[in-house]
Amino acid sequence: MKSSLLKKLNERSATIGIVGLGYVGLPLILRYCEVGYKVIGFDIDQGKVDALRQGKSYIEHISPTAIQQAVASGFEPTTDFSRASEADALIICVPTPLNKYREPDLSFVIDTTDSLVPHLRPGQIVSLESTTYPGTTDEELLPRIQSRGMKVGQDAFLVFSPEREDPGNTKFTTRTIPKICGGYTLACLEVGLALYGQVIDKVIPVSSTRAAELTKLLENIHRAVNIGLVNEMKIVADKMNIDIHEVIRAAATKPFGFVPYYPGPGLGGHCIPIDPFYLTWKAREYGVNTRFIELAGEVNSSMPDYVISKVTAALNSMKKSINASRILLLGIAYKKNVDDMRESPSVILMEKLRDLGATVSYSDPHIPVFPKMREHQFNLSSIPLTPEILADYDCILLATDHDKFDYAMIKQNGKLIVDSRGRYLENAPHIIKA
């Protein structure tokens, strides 16, 4: 089985099945199509499948032309999971969120695997890319594959290879971002390296699926902890009337031993606000209390309240209260220059301001209409920015610093600006740094 599958992968005659047509799965599909593989894309969202069939893109940084080229080359999006039997490789790229108790929610991974299992056959490789705690691949996927009567490492192959995407970052692509791969057995690893080696410039093998799972968590927890540190430093600096962004710029001139991280109104995105909880939850199984990681999480989670306190103080200085004030948020994506709203702190800010009685609007050139979200509801559309509109708001809260904003116009016409991103370097009486 191994030699036959390796031959197909190396000759690019294998059929690749990718499950989950979102920010991770879709770029991967385009890359496999680009080098000549036949690709089947699976998703439970009929709307996504229909859009892709029509050559449309629902992700801003992926062009319709790229989708159309993939479809023309044979890419087939579908909701029919029985077609998994046609694939030689199945790559799972589904969400791993937290539940309401801030515990890992593996329902998407487990439900997806259960949908694929009846259609698995000998001679396939299954790769999980979803970020998760160490042990998920061999505790959850392995027994399900074995339930088909196949011996993993001999009849079928299993790897974990965490996604590494940075939406909006044009310096790196799916092809150029190095890929970690860990196999359940050495044979699994060999097949996994062949699967990704044809489309990724550099694939780094690790000793096990658990090592690969922990690698991804370390990457993101490293960022979460350092962002927590700099967020706490921002609060200290503010009390001392020191501009933390000036301090970061100065510290970054040191050519060794310092990596700049930047404060903000809270953590966002599909990884950094979530991944630390996956490890802290799993660590408890081993009797370990991850105090350092959890403290960083507490600091980062408190940042929206800190920003609201700055808005409150700024309005009070103008003899206004948040209640009945008109507040415009600039940017509701979780990071600048993208249309991705997953775990965006801007949404938390909007809810807190609304609960305090403010009339809240937003402007975001990347998100024209507030999307339907499971936990957050706003019936709003993006407000165009003009001098007259800016002057009409009691407070403008810069939450996400998109490059498309005209910051000079905003500064000139806004009555009161609360800047939570350090975009305004100069001091001005009506600009409050938060």
- pLDDT tens per residue, range 31-55: 999 999 999 999 999 999 999 999 9
For residue 188, give the CATH number of its domain.
3.40.50.720
- Does 58 share its domain with 174? yes
Strand order in the sheet with 76-78: 76-78, 38-42, 15-19, 89-92, 125-128, 157-160, 179-183, 203-206
Place of tokens 């490293």: 222
Q: What is the CA radius of gyration of the chain?
A: 24
- For residue 142, is it within any domain? yes
Q: How far is CA 416 from CA 37, 46, 302, 313, 318, in A?
A: 54, 44, 23, 11, 9
SS3 133: coil
Of 49, 47, 61, 53, the residue nearest 19 (C-alpha): 49
Is 86:40 a contact under the CB 8 Å cutoff? yes
- For residue 223, is it within any domain? no
Residue 73 has what pLDDT? 94
Domain end, chosen from 186, 210, 234, is at 210
Give dist(CA 121, CA 137) in Å, integer: 18
Q: How many domains does the chain have?
A: 2
Q: What is the pTM of this model?
A: 0.93
Residue 1 has what pLDDT? 87
Residue 298 has what pLDDT? 93
- Does 318 share its domain with 396? yes
Q: How far is CA 223 from CA 133, 178, 226, 245, 276, in A?
A: 17, 18, 5, 18, 10
- Does 130 share its domain with 250? no
Q: How far is CA 78 from CA 83, 91, 109, in A?
A: 9, 15, 18
Q: Which two tokens stand for residue 134?
A: 């160490």
Residues of the chain with pLDDT under 50: none
Is 400:335 a contact under the CB 8 Å cutoff? yes
- Does 294 share its domain with 160? no
DSSP 340-396: --TT-HHHHHHHHHHHTT-EEEEE-TT-SBPPP-SS-----BPPPP-HHHHHT-SEE
Of 79, 78, 54, the residue nearest 67 (C-alpha): 54
- Does 273 share its domain with 383? yes
Question: Residue 280 sits in which domain range?
Answer: 242-433
Give dist(CA 23, CA 46) in Å, integer: 17
- Does 196 share its domain with 342? no
Residues recognised as catalytic: 271
- For residue 8, is it within any domain? yes
- Does 139 share its domain with 268? no
Of 421, 412, 368, the residue nearest 390 (C-alpha): 412
Other CB atoms within 10 A of residue 150 CB:
18
- Does 204 share its domain with 259? no
Give dist(CA 300, CA 307) in Å, integer: 12
- Does 145 share its domain with 56? yes
Residue 100 has what pLDDT? 82
**157-160 and 179-183 beta bridge pairing:** antiparallel
- Does 134 share its domain with 27? yes
HSE-CB at 352 with a 13 A cutoff on CA atoms is: 19
The secondary element (H helix, E strand) that includes residue 196 is helix 186-197
Of 376, 423, 372, the residue nearest 400 (C-alpha): 423
- For residue 183, is it within any domain? yes
- Does 296 share its domain with 400? yes
Q: How far is CA 300 from CA 232, 264, 345, in A?
A: 8, 9, 10
Of 137, 123, 55, the residue nearest 86 (C-alpha): 123
Give dist(CA 206, CA 208) in Å, integer: 6
Q: Which two tokens stand for residue 267?
A: 């953590």
- For residue 228, is it within any domain? no
